[in-house]
Amino acid sequence: MAPRDYDMEAAAAAVVDRVPEDITRALIVQPPGALHATMGGALRGLFGRNKRRAGLNQRNVLVLTPTSVRLYACEAHDWPPRATDDLGAWPVDGVRIATVAKEKHSTHSVQGSVTAKFYVITLTVPGTPDPIEVECPRTDSARETILAIEDATGSRPSKVTARRRAKRERDASEHMEGR
């Protein structure tokens, strides 16, 4: 039995009343810079140009359905967050996703050194002049969501999902041999 995916459940709960079809995967994401363990990163997360252009809040939910990729802005203080605005819905065949793993090191006098580990997700969607960039912590749930969006949209696989993809293929071939 697979462990519960609490991150996915919280993200889906945030948007369940707004999504007109079944939710395949959902992920809570932040604007660029929000996950950096620095004051500059936090300020970029609050006031960055890409954030304003895309309409992102401090918390947002990226959703994959059978037919679309959707993005919702959420209330920042509720848990699970509550979707407040629809930022876009695009057909899966028109979306491309690219993901990279990043780390940001900072030093805090009280806490010592802190390393923020996160994914930067770039969505290229129809009808927008610039790609939409969001970030999320590095979690199994995030990797599963990124993998699902890559597969659904036909996007080029990222290094982030390479190991998960190889394990899935290995498990499938072992299952076929065990028959």
**pLDDT tens digits for range 27-74:** 999 998 765 544 555 555 445 444 445 578 889 999 999 999 999 999
What domains are there in the chain, each with its CATH number?
Answer: 6-177 (2.30.29.30)
Say if residues 150 and 157 touch (Cβ distance below 8 Å).
Answer: yes
pLDDT at 52 (0 to 100): 45
113 is written with which tokens? 């050194």
CB atoms near residue 111 (< 10 Å): 9
Is residue 1's pLDDT more than 60? no
Instruction: Report the distance separating Cα 63 and Cα 71, nearest Å.
Output: 6
Runs of H (alpha helix) within the chain: 6-15, 39-47, 49-54, 140-153, 159-177
**pLDDT tens digits for range 80-102:** 788 999 999 999 999 999 999 88
**pLDDT tens digits for range 2-13:** 578 889 999 999
**pLDDT tens digits for range 102-121:** 887 665 656 666 677 899 99
pTM of the model: 0.80
Is residue 174's pLDDT more than 50? yes
